[in-house]
Amino acid sequence: MLNIGIIGAGRIGKVHLQSISYHVKNAAVVAMADPFMNEETKALIESMGVKKIYKDYHQILEDPQIDAVLVCSSTDTHAAISIEAIKAGKHVFCEKPVDHSLEKIQEVADVLAEHPECRFQVGFNRRFDHNFAAVRRAYDEGKIGEAHILKITSRDPEPPNPAYIKVSGGMFLDMTIHDFDMACFLTNSDVEEVYVQSAVLVDPAIGEQGDVDTAIITLKMKNGALAVIDNSRRAAYGYDQRAELFGSKGMVATSNDTLSSAVISDANGVTGEKPLFFFLERYMESFSEEMRQFVDACEKGTPVPVGIHAGMQAVKIGLAAKKSVAEHRPVRLDE
């Protein structure tokens, strides 16, 4: 049994608490810490059987009974807490992004190199989604042949509060970062070059924060494949999450998950369910699966499925995308 401490009791911390408690048999959350811990959150955590509840996360790092920590705090603390946890002898699961700074991500990588016994996984949960995993499986099994064209559609049901942009790093580092990771995952390749066409079409207040809310992104992969990502901060019909991989032997494509597959045909037309509303509904099982694989890697001493390289690569692509928007040109990742 792997004893886990969660640092950060916000939305994603609570998601992992629930997924581990209900769906991961060989792990238990024994402690949670958050500097803004309140009575309501504390009551929820206690109801899940967690007895050690703190405001200072150092109490988790100093607990010899805790084997692994989940870093679910604010993004600007991810790298520093990860380094402290690694040095404290804990396995670490760090929510994405590891940091907005490539230098700080490299610092984490350097400390990891000094502690090979530590398992460090980055929280790109979409790799563990049943649809996208099936696309990658078809590619790995040779059914698609060589990857030629990847298309990813990723559209949120509603935009965030514009104030969120100040701390999120903007659309490319808080939303599209998942799609950048998906491009690498589905083609089994890193990115060589990025080009972005973008606009503010959803909410002028997002533009006032210096960000965009609509984008078409083209990627040249190192293995020669080409990828296209289309993003919008608002899709009126719900959370739109699809992918298509075309190759030398064929194509594999996924459609949106819906509450049911029922289709009604009548005199007014043919209608079906809208996509599941947002990421908690759409990706909850993927959060459980990524935890199961992280726990297995910690217990067995095997490599984690999503390591620090993936964390670095996604942020590199995001920063290159921002540079492409600013300079109106393709940007190579080796610049």
**DSSP output for 208-262:** HTT--SEEEEEEEETTS-EEEEEEES--TTS-EEEEEEEESS-EEEE---BS---
The amino acid at residue 139 is Y
Q: What is the DSSP letter of 275?
A: B
Question: Length of the chain in residues, anyone?
Answer: 335
Q: Is the pTM of this model over 0.85?
A: yes
Geometric angle at alpha carbon 289, from 287 and 293, rounded to 5°: 120
> What confidence category does residue 277 fall into, taking pLDDT thresholds of 50, 70 and 90?
confident
Higher pLDDT, 121 or 167: 121
Fold of 2-118: Rossmann fold (3.40.50)
pLDDT at 170: 95
Q: Please state the domain extents for the chain.
A: 2-118, 127-284+314-332
**Domain 127-284+314-332 listed as CATH 3.40.718.10:** no
For residue 279, pLDDT beyond 80: no
Residue 29: how many CA atoms within 13 Å on its side-chain side? 29
Q: What is the arrangement of strands in the sheet containing 251-254, beginning at the earlier edge strand?
A: 251-254, 240-247, 147-155, 226-232, 214-221, 191-199, 331-332
For residue 282, pLDDT beyond 90: no
For residue 44, pLDDT beyond 90: yes
pLDDT at 66: 98
> What confidence category does residue 166 fall into, taking pLDDT thresholds of 50, 70 and 90?
confident
For residue 189, pLDDT beyond 90: yes
**Mean per-residue pLDDT for 40-44?**
95
pLDDT at 327: 98
Give dist(CA 220, CA 166) in Å, integer: 29
Radius of gyration of the chain (CA): 20
pLDDT at 169: 93
**Mean per-residue pLDDT for 17-38?**
96
Give dist(CA 226, CA 186) in Å, integer: 12
Q: Tell me how far CA of residue 234 lies from CA of 213, 214, 325, in angstroms.
A: 8, 9, 20
pLDDT at 17: 97
Cis omega (within 30 of 0) on the bond before 162? no
**Mean per-residue pLDDT for 77-81?**
98
Report percent pLDDT > 70 for the chain: 100
**Mean per-residue pLDDT for 203-229?**
97
DSSP per-residue codes, 41-65 = HHHHHHHTT--EEES-THHHHT-TT
pLDDT at 29: 98
Residue 258 makes CB contacts below 8 A (sequence gap 6+) with 272, 273, 274, 275, 276
Higher pLDDT, 281 or 135: 135
**Mean per-residue pLDDT for 151-161?**
96
